[in-house]
Amino acid sequence: MHVLVTGGAGFIGSHLVERLLDEDHRVTIIDNLDPFYDSSVKCRNLSRVKDHPQFTWLETDIRESDCAENVSGEIDAIVHIAARAGVRPSIEDPLGYYQTNVQGTLHMLEFARRRSIGQFIFASSSSVYGVNPKVPWTESDEGLQPISPYAATKLSCEGLGHVYSRLHGIRFIGLRFFTVYGPRQRPDLAIHKFARKILAGESIPFFGDGSTRRDYTFVRDIVDGLLAAIDYQGAAFEILNLGNNRTVSLMEMVQGLENALGQKALIDNQPEQPGDVPQTWADVAKAERLLNYSPKTPFEQGIAEFAQWIQKRG
Ligand SMILES: NC(=O)c1ccc[n+]([C@@H]2O[C@H](COP(=O)([O-])OP(=O)(O)OC[C@H]3O[C@@H](n4cnc5c(N)ncnc54)[C@H](O)[C@@H]3O)[C@@H](O)[C@H]2O)c1
């Protein structure tokens, strides 16, 4: 198979690229090394694959409509992962998020239409559920009301995906990821940020009273879901949760990190953050049924792997 992965130099994308190449597929990535975080980190993410004969990297920008024109040969599936990620910065730059996330997705869908690519996997987000008191969240929950520009862009992209599946017969599978963590995690995400501060002996910003809960999903489990979605041959449009189906409080997350790193955290209490939701919790029954998805990594194990990685990296 030839798979086009956008955002292939990022945290989740680079793990997917490695797995696809290990399974003997041809992989082309589009990634412009967006400056949201240090581009040298992204280059390092690709260090194991960059010289692989089945691997090609186009350093182009999905905000340009012709970003994929130079991809040669037949493409069997697009996995569209590139985006401006992160809830809080989207409040400062809603237009920038709109351009990369919504316009960029439209460009990739148009490319799929022009090149008759029948399988389109989209990296959506649990944030589309907004403040939904009914937990765990299921894909059939109605009246989704996102509370950040980032979340609104992801929900818009799911809508665009529906349009392209109906009008152009492109199978669109939107995967709603629930807080993904593991080696190479984005440096702006809490687990990574906290770990660096704990190791440096600095205090960590602790938002609210520590009772907010997240369904943390280990990156290897997310990649399992992505690979299954690439092979999925069912309905033309599906939205699926990829979570761990277990929630961990902020307090428990910090304690888990302390145990894994063998170092105590200094806490700097801060008020709750606008745009943050009190809890996320995935019902993964649909992904289990359609993709045979079954998250295998308990938080304690995943956080230990993450801690090992960050300690080795220094
Ligand atoms: N990490 C999570 O917890 C999480 C949760 C829910 C959804 N997601 C979604 O999963 C995807 C990957 O997240 P991640 O954590 O790996 O983020 P990441 O920032 O590490 O990866 C995104 C990649 O996209 C690239 N990119 C950004 N703008 C681009 C553009 N204009 N043109 C080409 N490439 C561009 C970046 O350079 C980066 O390598 C994103 O779509 C994100 O919204 C992530």
Gap from CA of 34 to ligand 1 centroid (Å): 9
Q: Ligand 1 pocket, 32 CB below 6 A? A: yes
With a cut of 80, say whether residue 149 has pLDDT above it.
Answer: yes
Average pLDDT, stretch 66-81?
97
If you measure from the C-alpha of residue 180 to the centroid of ligand 1, how many angstroms do you get, rounded to a whole number?
11
> In 3D, which of 123, 279, 293, 296 has the Cα closest to residue 215?
279
Q: Give CA–CA dist 294/274, Å, rounded.
A: 32
Count other Cβ atoms within 10 Å, centred on residue 207. 16
* Residue 104 near ligand 1, beta carbon < 6 Å: yes
Can 150 be counted among the known catalytic residues? yes
- Cα separation, 293 vs 256, whole angstroms: 25
Question: First vs last Cα of the chain: how many Å apart?
Answer: 37
With vertex at residue 186, the alpha carbon angle to CA 294 and CA 275, rounded to the nearest 5 degrees, is: 85
Give every strand in the sheet of 2-6, ordered side by side.
Answer: 55-58, 26-30, 2-6, 77-80, 119-125, 171-177, 237-242
* Mean pLDDT of the 288-300 span: 98
The whole-number pLDDT of residue 278 equals 87
Give the confidence band of 272 by pLDDT, cuts at 50, 70, 90. confident
Buried residues in 16-46 as b, exposed as e (16+ CB within 10 A): bbbbbbeeebbbbbbbbbbebbeeebbeebb
Tell me the pTM: 0.98
C-beta of 63 in contact with ligand 1 (< 6 A): yes
pLDDT above 80: residue 186: yes
Q: Could you tell me the residue ranges of all domains in the chain?
A: 2-181+217-245+281-295
pLDDT of amino acid 40: 96
Q: Is 186 in the pocket of ligand 1 (CB under 6 A)?
A: yes
Q: Which atom of ligand 1 is nearest to the CA of 217?
A: 3
pLDDT band at 178 (very low <50, low <70, confident <90, very high): very high
For residues 263-284, average pLDDT: 90
Question: What does pLDDT average to over the chain?
Answer: 96
Question: What pLDDT is attached to residue 174?
Answer: 99
Ligand 1, residue 33: give the atom nearest the CA: 37
* Burial class of 286 by CB neighbour count within 10 A (0 to 12, 13 to 18, 19+): middle
**Per-residue model confidence (pLDDT) at position 106:** 98
Assess contact for 192 and 139: CB atoms under 8 A.
Answer: no
Instruction: Determine the distance separating the centroid of ligand 1 and the alpha carbon of 62, expressed in angstroms.
Output: 12
Query: 80 C-alpha vs ligand 1 centroid, how far in Å?
Result: 9
Structure tokens at 279: 């809890």
Q: Looking at residues 246-264, what average pLDDT do you find? A: 97
Q: Which CATH superfamily is domain 2-181+217-245+281-295 in?
A: NAD(P)-binding Rossmann-like Domain (3.40.50.720)
Rounded average pLDDT over 173-180: 98
The confidence score (pLDDT) of residue 277 equals 79
Torsion angle of the four alpha carbons 171, 86, 137, 181, in this order, in degrees rounded to the nearest 10: 90
129 lines ligand 1 (CB under 6 A): no
- The stretch 225-247 carries a mean pLDDT of 98
Q: In this prediction, what percent of the chain has a pLDDT beyond 70?
A: 99
- Amino acid 314: pLDDT: 66
Which position among 150, 181, 216, 232 bears the catalytic label? 150
% of the chain surpassing 90 pLDDT: 94
Of 85, 97, 185, the C-alpha closest to 149 is 97
The length of the chain is 314
**pLDDT value at residue 257:** 97
Closest CA to 262 of 209, 307, 206, 300: 307
Residues 6+ apart with CB under 8 A from 236: 165, 166, 169, 170, 171, 172
Decide whether any atom of ligand 1 lies within 6 Å of the 198 Cβ: no
Nearest CA to ligand 1 atom 20: 10
